[in-house]
């Protein structure tokens, strides 16, 4: 059950902290909720929004100037219609990285709201650097001969390192084919040429006999379409003895 106003979050969150022994007051120096524990003077600021958004995040960062313990609170809508605020795993990690806490409130028609504290203020991030992915990133960067894409573009075929190597195989077949995979590898310097020819991911190559491949019209069209990508490499091959 979705709430109509963010004020509806206040009562269940207030009750949550009161059950933990805190004294709770609202709108203290523009903070939505402030909870203070009488015994330890521990202080928690809570900022509330119906959904997680940039305004809430910036508000939380600003509240860190007032207090070290800040919690962001949002409704957890049980309707899974792809809203970005349902990505609570990623949002929790973001809050961890900023030193913020994150709390969700789930409302029901026939039972009391349920509160879940996804992370405490100051919890360390849980996701470390993914070394395998990092290695793949650097390998892809190194193996591209240039910058043939436009950052941020969508719906366009990306010029990846794999596409470049497939274009080199296509060029070898176009100029010297039909060829055996070993011959393509010798021309291109790409030791996985045989695998690329067999997999034929782009539909450019055709096996015409055992151990022999030729270039299909689609491959010739690709050489024309990506002429700027292959030009420098093709020139170096043509000029080599």
In this predicted structure, what is the pLDDT of residue 126?
A: 79
In this predicted structure, what is the pLDDT of residue 181?
A: 95
In this predicted structure, what is the pLDDT of residue 150?
A: 86
Q: Is 129 helix (H, G, I), strand (E, B) or coil?
A: coil
Q: Which helix (H) or strand (E) is 95 found in, with range? A: helix 88-98
How far is the C-alpha of 219 from the C-alpha of 203, rounded, in Å? 7
Closest CA to 233 of 183, 164, 186, 181: 164
Closest CA to 71 of 99, 37, 42, 113: 99
Query: Sign of the C-alpha dihedral, residues 170, 175, 179, 181?
Result: negative
In this predicted structure, what is the pLDDT of residue 226?
A: 92
Q: Which helix (H) or strand (E) is 170 found in, with range? A: helix 161-176
Residue 82 phi/psi, 5° resolution? Answer: 80, 15
Within the chain, all domains assigned CATH 1.10.10 are found at 142-239
* Topology annotation, domain 142-239: Arc Repressor Mutant, subunit A (1.10.10)
Per-residue confidence in pLDDT tens, the chain, 241 aa: 567 788 899 999 999 999 999 999 999 999 999 999 998 989 999 999 999 999 999 999 999 999 999 999 999 886 655 454 578 999 999 999 999 999 999 998 889 999 999 999 999 887 766 788 889 989 999 998 888 888 887 777 899 999 999 999 999 999 998 999 999 999 999 999 999 999 999 999 999 999 999 999 999 999 999 999 999 888 877 766 6
In this predicted structure, what is the pLDDT of residue 239?
A: 66
In this predicted structure, what is the pLDDT of residue 80?
A: 57
In this predicted structure, what is the pLDDT of residue 169?
A: 96
Taking domain 6-119, whether its CATH number is 3.40.1350 is answered by yes
In this predicted structure, what is the pLDDT of residue 1?
A: 58
Within the chain, all domains assigned CATH 3.40.1350 are found at 6-119
How far is the C-alpha of 173 from the C-alpha of 220, rounded, in Å? 10
In this predicted structure, what is the pLDDT of residue 233?
A: 86
């Amino acid at each position: 059950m979705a709430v109509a106003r963010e004020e509806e979050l206040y009562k269940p969150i207030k009750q949550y902290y009161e059950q933990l022994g805190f004294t709770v007051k609202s709108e203290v120096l523009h903070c939505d909720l402030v909870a203070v524990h009488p015994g330890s003077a521990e202080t928690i600021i809570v900022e509330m929004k119906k959904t997680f958004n940039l305004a809430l995040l910036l508000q939380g960062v600003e509240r860190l100037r007032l207090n070290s313990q800040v919690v962001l609170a949002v409704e957890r809508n049980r309707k899974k219609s792809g809203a970005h605020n349902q990505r609570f795993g990623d949002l929790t990690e973001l809050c961890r990285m900023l030193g913020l806490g994150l709390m969700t409130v789930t409302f029901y028609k026939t039972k009391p709201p349920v509160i879940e504290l996804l992370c405490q203020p100051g919890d360390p991030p849980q996701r470390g650097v993914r070394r395998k992915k990092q290695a793949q990133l650097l390998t892809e960067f190194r193996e591209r001969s240039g910058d043939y894409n436009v950052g941020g573009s969508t719906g366009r075929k990306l010029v990846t390192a794999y596409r470049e190597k497939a274009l080199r195989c296509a060029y070898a077949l176009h100029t010297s084919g039909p060829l055996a995979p070993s011959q393509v590898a010798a021309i291109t310097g790409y030791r996985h040429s045989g695998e690329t020819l067999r997999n034929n991911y782009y539909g450019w190559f055709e096996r015409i006999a055992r151990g022999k491949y030729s270039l299909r019209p689609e491959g010739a069209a690709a050489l024309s379409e990506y002429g700027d990508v292959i030009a420098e490499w093709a020139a170096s091959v043509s000029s080599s003895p």
